[in-house]
Amino acid sequence: MIRLEDLALFVRTAALGSFSAAARETGLTPGQVSAAVARLERELDQRLFARTTRSLRLSGEGERYLPYAQSVMATLREGTDALHGAEAALQGRLQIAAPSDLGRHALLGWLAEFRWLHPRLDWRLHLSDQVADLFRDPVDVAIRLGRLDDADYVALPLASENRRVLVAAPDYLARRGRPVSLEALREHDCLLYQLGPRAHDRWAFQVDGRRQVVTVHGTLVCDDAEVVRRWAVAGEGITYKSWLDVCDDVEQGRLVLLFPELGEPLPLQLACPHRKQFSPVVRELHRFLAERCGARAARLQAHLPSP
């Protein structure tokens, strides 16, 4: 019979990537964690991890089994929450992954407010523009920009109306002039964001219901979206950013919107590996953030040209 303790240690080992890390988190020895996983493997008659002297990774069977193990543990937590009532549900550890720029300029304040409302919660916040793997990284939920086409994930909307916007500092526009068309962007210094091996230098826009792509150029490239925004505020060039990231800069005059009605849709969502993991804490966090993110996204309407 499978022991729930062994199942829980398998899930944490998969998330943390080592027996030692799982042992530190649970107060056990690495040998005890390894033995628990070995018992589970014997019960299943499958190897869940591929082990070498230097690394530990999920086997193919382990990757297929992990979502089911996570679902079992989430169901048990949900049942415990239901038995102890709503107050008890809003406690425990919540691990969140979020984009760097939005995280620093908006989420930090909102999460501080949420924590004040629910002081029994223990937070782990991971700010990075690298996309978290919800099945392998030590996170419970991820806040993500863009459409989620992966059927393995479950997502709830936070700001469906968000979009990318072109922005530049008044100082840059005074020096270089304001572009009169999207094609004129090719003649400007553009500040590029890099995710993965290449820079995001093909900017897409919605023009009269059609998608228009402009290839831009620039000498400043960074894989941190906050740095790109700072370059724009410093007058280094034009950038194409999420409205949620730059709305304060626009409204306080540090950045100027260019062609705001043409920006590409960029919805914000809260993602989870499985619906069972939408615990009372996650559901309340989603409701709380959706109110604030939706209101922030709606502020763009005041800057759009009248129909």
CATH at 59 = 1.10.10.10
Same-domain status, 142 and 171: no
168 and 34, same domain (yes or no): no
Let me know if residue 81 belongs to a domain.
no
Closest by CA position to 201, among listed 184, 218, 188: 218
- Give the structural domain span for 274: 90-157+268-302
Domain count, the chain: 3
Residue 79 located in a structural domain: no
The reported pLDDT for the residue numbered 149 is: 59
Write out the chain's pLDDT in tens, 307 residues.
Answer: 888 888 888 888 887 778 887 887 777 888 888 888 899 989 899 998 888 767 788 888 888 898 888 888 877 776 766 655 544 456 677 888 888 888 888 888 888 888 888 888 888 888 877 765 665 666 788 888 887 655 566 788 899 889 999 999 999 999 999 999 999 999 999 999 987 778 889 999 999 889 999 999 999 999 889 999 999 999 999 999 999 999 999 999 999 999 999 999 999 988 877 666 667 888 888 989 999 998 889 999 888 887 6
**How much is the pLDDT for 71?**
82
In a domain, 76, yes or no: no
User: Residue 229 falls within a domain, yes or no?
Assistant: yes
- The whole model's pTM is what? 0.68
How many Å separate Cα 18 from the centre of its chain?
Answer: 24
Report if residue 84 sits inside a domain: no
CATH number of the domain where residue 295 is located: 3.40.190.10
Residues 180 and 133 in one domain: no
Same domain, 205 and 137: no
Residue 167's pLDDT is 97
Is residue 286 located within the same domain as residue 223? Answer: no
Structural domain includes residue 77: no
Compute the distance between CA of residue 189 and CA of residue 59 in angstroms, rounded to an integer: 46
Query: Is 80 contained in some domain?
Result: no
